[in-house]
Amino acid sequence: MAFRSPAPVFLAVVALLGMSGGVSVSPPVNVRVVSEDLGLTLVWDPPSNSSHDNLTYTTELGRALGQKVKFSSVCVSERRRSCDIIALKASSDVSAFGSYFLRVRAELQELYSDWSTTPTEFNIDQMTNISAPSVRLLETSGDIEVQLSDPVMKINNFHEVYYPLKYVITYWRQGETHKKRQEESQQSHVILPANQLSAPGNYCVEAHILMPIFGNKSSAHTTPTCITYSPDGGVTWWMILLMMIGSFLAVGVAVLIFFVIGSHCYRTIRYINPKTTLPDIFKQVVPESPVSSDKVELYDQCSIFTPDTHTEPDTHTEPDAHTEPDTHTPQETHILLSTHVSPEMDSQTDSHTPPDLDTASSDLSSLPLLLETHMDTPPPAPTAY
């Protein structure tokens, strides 16, 4: 009887095993979900009986649709032993309020293992771990102010998912941990009661957040943060002296600036509208008030008769009958003497005579003498040609 080689049979078995799922590769072990601040990451360990360093892994995310679960690939044929679902999936595909299944398998070229699935579906908002808030301490007017900042979420907003919140602040004087006190508030800014901080020294604060909507689910606790406290607000004598000197300098500079500005404005106003008045001697010639256009001009008519300078009658000779009488008649000159009277002065008197008429009359008394002197001067003799 002929003996047949087992090689073809072995090859056929290997082919069948590869087609049926590659059972020769063990699945990953210790599959777990790591979620912090609404993140979603699947982590696993390599197969326990595997000595291959060139294994790759494929991760899928599943969502329940009725009685079935629909899976979609997230990390495909990667050598890493973790898969960040939030970083690789769009925000519309993953929600903080969703429930998901995750699974992973190992691959070796054309061979692959069975799926290793999380034991239960994962609810992100309920099962995620919330990190601790950040703490900032300030000392203002003898009080300690605690400012808390919410942790940053990877998807959605912290207040949208976990509102209402409750901030729990624990504080104590350094070295007196057995005397810890707590303050609870729904506000992220809290001022510690001054009656509990009467003694100066270093005070430490730690805080965490409670979420009553999920059965007082708590965030992580902050590390202690300390600050030096004094009831008077930390004001020392040299700070008071420095503030006094600064105040004096500021007031002095302000007064100097106001003085310079005021002096400049005063000089400008005095230049535009001077305060100096005319002496009395100039007031008699130049009136202080401007001449009004409504003043009334009053005048009197004065007639002056002048004899003919060309022919003088002979007073010693009797007039001849044949001599024609001199036809030259004395010249009559009319002079109008006028004075300007303002409406105010005119209203003070009932007559038309101006107040300074006497002065004008005295000036007119010298007018005939001047005219007589001018008329007595003989005219120049005619020039013979």
**Token reading at 144:** 């300690």
Cα–Cα distance measured from residue 24 to residue 50, given in angstroms and rounded to the nearest whole number: 10
Q: In terms of CATH architecture, what is 134-229?
A: Sandwich (2.60)
Residue written as tokens 């590390």?
A: 223
According to the model, what pLDDT value does residue 273 have? Answer: 79
Strand 116-117 and strand 122-123: the pairing is: unpaired
According to the model, what pLDDT value does residue 185 have? Answer: 92
According to the model, what pLDDT value does residue 348 have? Answer: 45
37 contacts 131 by C-beta, under 8 angstroms: yes
CA distances from 352 to 126, 136, 242, 318 (A): 114, 97, 82, 50
**Token reading at 116:** 């290793």
The rounded Cα 80 to chain-centroid distance in angstroms is: 51
Cα–Cα distance measured from residue 248 to residue 244, given in angstroms and rounded to the nearest whole number: 6
Pick the CATH number of 12-127 from 3.40.50.300, 1.20.1250.20, 1.10.260.40, 2.60.40.10: 2.60.40.10
According to the model, what pLDDT value does residue 271 have? Answer: 80
pLDDT tens for the 385 residues of the chain, in order: 333 333 333 333 333 344 444 447 889 999 999 999 999 999 999 988 777 678 999 999 998 877 888 899 999 999 999 999 988 876 567 888 888 999 999 998 889 899 999 988 899 999 999 999 999 998 877 788 899 999 999 988 899 899 899 999 999 988 888 888 999 999 999 988 877 776 788 899 999 999 998 888 999 999 999 998 877 655 566 778 888 999 999 999 999 999 999 998 988 887 887 776 666 776 666 555 555 555 566 666 666 666 655 444 444 444 444 444 444 445 444 454 444 444 444 444 444 444 444 444 444 454 444 444 444 455 555 544 4
Q: How many CB atoms lie within 10 A of CB 181?
A: 13
- Closest by CA to 295, choosing from 347, 337, 357, is 347
- Closest by CA to 180, choosing from 207, 210, 200, is 207
Residue written as tokens 């003996």?
A: 3
